[in-house]
Amino acid sequence: MGDKRLRSAPFGASLLPKADCDQLSNSNNLGAKFEGFFLQMVKPGLEHRVREIVTKTLGSNWKVKSIGDNRTEFEVSKKGDTLSVKEAWDKTYHLRSQPGVVDAQPLFAVPLPSSDWNQESKQPVGNFAHQALLDESSDPEWSLKQLRVFEAWSRFFPDPNLPPGHGVIIGLPDTGYTQHPEILANLFLKQSYDFLKNDKDPTDELEKHPGEVINNPGHGTSTASVMISPKGAQANYPTGKFVTGVASGAKVIPLRVSYSVVLLSVTNLADAIEYAAGYGVHVLSISLGTGLFNQRLRSAITYAQKRGVIVVAAAGTMVPYVVWPAAYDEVIAVAGSNVRREIWWGSSRGSQVDVTAPGESVWYAKTDKDNGEFKYNVLQGSGTSFSAPLVAAVAALWLSYHGRDQLIQRYGAEKIPFIFNQILRDSCDKFPTWKPNLFGEGIVNTEKVLAAPLPDNVSSSVIAPAFALAEHSSIDNGRLDTFVHLFGQQLSDTQLDGNFVGVSQDNAKLRSCLAELLQTTETELPKRLKEVGQELAFYFAVNPELYKQFAAALSSKQPSGTQVEPKTLTELPKPKNLEQIREKLLSQGVSKVLQTKLS
């Protein structure tokens, strides 16, 4: 969060039932599952017009659901046979052309592929059990010590009858829960929900799908444990270890939105966020993500934050950019550190990161199923899926200490997430490998967060909520900012060794590549991106091979020690690989609108 626009994945998606997996293989082989459309109208009260447009464009058997507070936003979906990727984009452009429609976007479950993003990496995404472990992290409470949690407990929660985080409810959209002893006592199951089966029992059945690269059933149990597990072992485990949660007095509401964490249903996650906000959840911890922006998801986050919900999300694991929803300004994006106070090598990074918290070799509760019998243990693993709930639990401590009702009375519910975010960022500690615009403001210091004074002048020191500043995030609109976000790592790498050329030239290289790819001039590029930028960004996000080819076209790093004069825009190196990218896009099948721009 903060103001990410001013700063230049365990994880992220769910395994689907076999029927949905079969559909993926037939969806232009892009690995994305069409889920519906987001539709925004020009003014409230036009639901009848939406139904007319949907019936005319899509047919009569589509469901229209009003979402958000503005009465201008709608989710359009259909059960059973749906659309291919190409068909979805074709229909999107047609919907956008209809009178009264301000915006239309296709909704996809977008996968976060594994090491396909990085040819040098052989590490699977978010595979908790197989991360390299650091010898120094054998202490099961090292992550809390790094965050200075025990100092905060001692100073601000001295009463043993009022445990840290008491009175705070955390919503956890994830894979559901198991009856692991480390979490069971602090689950609030009365309001829990399973969005996969549409019932009140979000039990994680630990389903595995052998055709998937990554299987992380039990993920929800693991992420809950680092937030709410009571201090000390709650049972005897094979490893002899235990988990201590940062906010052991808080309660977690399990919200089951995915089978595992490989292909996330954004509609399930959006529904869960709105459900949680409606039931009075105070904090949301999201250790899931999607590889592409989605206005349906952002609408849900805005809905929650207007009700004072603090939203924290994992920056991403083994993905070259910060994933969504963490990338949104309204969300606190958390990168991962290790026991040595260094950045974890597998963490996503970039200007959208707000803070850093332990993410490598963290101790967590693990549930496995062996011949139908549940087995409980405490293991070590790595991923920003741990970093996010650790910070969400710090938010719970802050709310518990100051009293959420008192904060609402003083500032209004809608300002609470932004006040906390500013205090959180201002209280961070820089670490030896910290760099600006990569790891947020540093490692979270819980003691400083709770000790920080609250703003005392409401009119001048409380930041206006992001949803009052911009209705649409700049990284969502498919224009240059979207591609700067997706390829920020490559743009940074193109800066010349020993001769800092700066961001302006890097963006010029990006503009040059995009203009050539879309067969236009740099002058006309903004207009072209306004037309087809979102669709082009979609293909880069879902196809690692295309992503790597375009990243290679952006790379032009000079040999170390070479002294060169800064180049003018006309002297920039010519892009490479763009013809192959264009051919691949056309061969896989894109919308008719994008096809005309590429041909």
Q: How far apart (Å, rounded) are the C-alpha atoms in residues 57 and 87?
A: 12
**Is it the case that residue 132 has pLDDT exceeding 50?**
no
Q: What is the mean pLDDT of residues 210-224?
A: 72
Q: Are 106 and 89 in contact (CB under 8 A)?
A: yes
2 to 172, 384, 422: CA distances (angstroms): 22, 19, 7
| DSSP single-letter state for residue 82 | -
Q: Longest Cα pair distance anywhere in the chain, in angstroms?
A: 70
Please state the rounded mean pLDDT for residues 311-340: 94
Please report the pLDDT score of residue 424 as a whole number.
98
Could you tell me the pLDDT band of residue 14, with boundaries at 50, 70 and 90? very low
Cα 227 to Cα 235: distance, rounded to the nearest angstrom: 18
* pLDDT, average across residues 384-403: 98
Residues 100, 95: Cα–Cα separation, whole Å: 10
Please tell me the predicted confidence (pLDDT) of residue 206.
87
Q: Does the structure show a pLDDT above 50 at 370?
A: yes
- As beta bridge partners, residue 375 has 368
Angle of helix 404-411 versus helix 384-402 axis, rounded to 10: 80
Other CB atoms within 10 Å distance of the CB of residue 38: 26
Cross-strand partners of 74: 39, 66
Tell me the C-alpha distance between 77 and 270, whole Å. 14
User: Which tens digits make up the pLDDT trace of 272-285?
Assistant: 999 999 999 999 99
Burial call 514-550: b when 16+ CB within 10 Å, e when fewer? bbbbbebeeeebeebbebbbbbbbbbbbbbbebbbbb
Let me know: does 353 contact 205? Beta carbons within 8 Å.
Answer: no
Which pLDDT score is estimated for 111? 65
Task: Tell me the C-alpha distance between 102 and 39, whole Å.
Answer: 8
Arithmetic mean of pLDDT over the chain: 84
CA distances from 460 to 308, 455, 463, 526 (A): 20, 9, 8, 36
> Is the sign of the CA dihedral 302, 303, 306, 311 positive or negative?
negative
pLDDT at 121: 34
Give the Cα-Cα-Cα angle 142, 143, 145 (nearest 5 degrees). 65
Residues 451-473 have a mean pLDDT of: 62
| CA gap 246, 231 in Å, rounded | 9
- 458 pLDDT above the threshold of 80: no
Quote the pLDDT of residue 476.
84
The pLDDT of residue 115 is above 90 = no
Residue position matching structure tokens 């005392």: 456
Q: How far, in Å, CA of 439 to CA of 269, rounded? A: 26
Mean pLDDT of 533-543: 94
Structure tokens at 86: 């190409």
Q: Read off the pLDDT of each residue in 402-430 and give the average, rounded to a whole number.
A: 96
Residues 524, 530, 534, 539, Cα dihedral to 10°: -20
Cα–Cα nearest to 491, from 572, 585, 579, 580: 572
> What pLDDT was estimated at residue 511?
94
Q: Which fold has domain 33-109?
A: Alpha-Beta Plaits (3.30.70)
Length of the chain: 599
The residues that bridge with 364 in the sheet, in sequence order, are 379
DSSP bridge partners of 213: none
Of 423, 173, 469, 432, which Cα lies nearest the Cα of 304?
A: 173
What mean pLDDT is predicted for residues 30-46?
90
Q: Which residue has the higher pLDDT, 213 or 159?
A: 159
Query: Tell me, what's the pLDDT at 182?
Result: 97
Answer yes or no: are the C-beta atoms of 476 and 538 closer than 8 Å. no
Domain range summary for the chain, segments of one domain joined by +: 33-109, 138-468, 477-598
Please, is 476 exposed, middle or buried when counting C-beta atoms within 10 Å of its C-beta (0-12, 13-18, 19+)?
A: buried
Axis crossing angle, helix 525-542 with helix 85-96, rounded to the nearest 10: 150
363 beta partners = 380
Question: Parallel, antiparallel, or unpaired: how do β-strands 362-370 and 373-381 relate?
Answer: antiparallel
Reported pTM? 0.88
Mean pLDDT of 21-48: 73
Answer with the residue of higher pLDDT: 32 or 156. 156
Average the pLDDT over 445-467 and give the result.
75
Instruction: Find the range with the poorest average confidence among 102-106, 110-114, 275-279, 375-379.
Output: 110-114
Could you report the per-residue pLDDT of 75-102, keeping only the tens digit for each?
999 987 789 999 999 999 999 999 999 9
**150 pLDDT more than 90:** yes
Predicted local distance difference test score (pLDDT) of residue 125: 39
H or E segment and range at residue 528: helix 525-542
The identity of residue 593, as a single letter, is V
Residue carrying structure tokens 């790595």? 382
Q: Mean per-residue pLDDT for 384-411? A: 97
Q: Please answer whether residues 115 and 122 qualify as being in contact, where contact means their C-beta atoms are separated by less than 8 angstroms.
A: yes
Say what the pLDDT of residue 289 is. Answer: 87
Query: What are the phi and psi torsion angles at 284 (to 5°)?
Result: -115, 130
The pLDDT-based confidence of 134 (bands split at 50, 70, 90) is: low
Our CA dihedral for 229, 234, 236, 240, rounded to 10 degrees, sits at 40
CATH class for the region spanning 138-468: alpha beta
Tell me, what's the pLDDT at 436? 87
In the chain, what percentage of residues exceed pLDDT 70? 80
**Looking at residue 135, what is its pLDDT?**
78
At residue 170, the pLDDT reads 98
The share of the chain scoring above pLDDT 90, in percent, equals 68
Q: Is 129's pLDDT higher than 80?
A: no
Name which of 163-167, 308-312, 461-465 the model is least confident about.
461-465
Residue 560 pLDDT more than 50? no
Question: What does the alpha-carbon distance between residue 73 and residue 67 come to, in Å, rounded to a whole number?
Answer: 6
Least confident residue range of 7-11, 249-253, 563-567? 7-11
Task: Answer whether 279's CB lies under 8 Å from 252's CB.
Answer: no
Residue 251 CB contacts under 8 Å (≥ 6 apart), including other chains: 168, 169, 170, 186, 187, 188, 228
Q: Which of 24-28, 110-114, 230-234 has the lowest mean pLDDT?
A: 24-28
Q: How many CB atoms lie within 10 A of CB 258?
A: 30
Q: 569: which DSSP letter? A: G
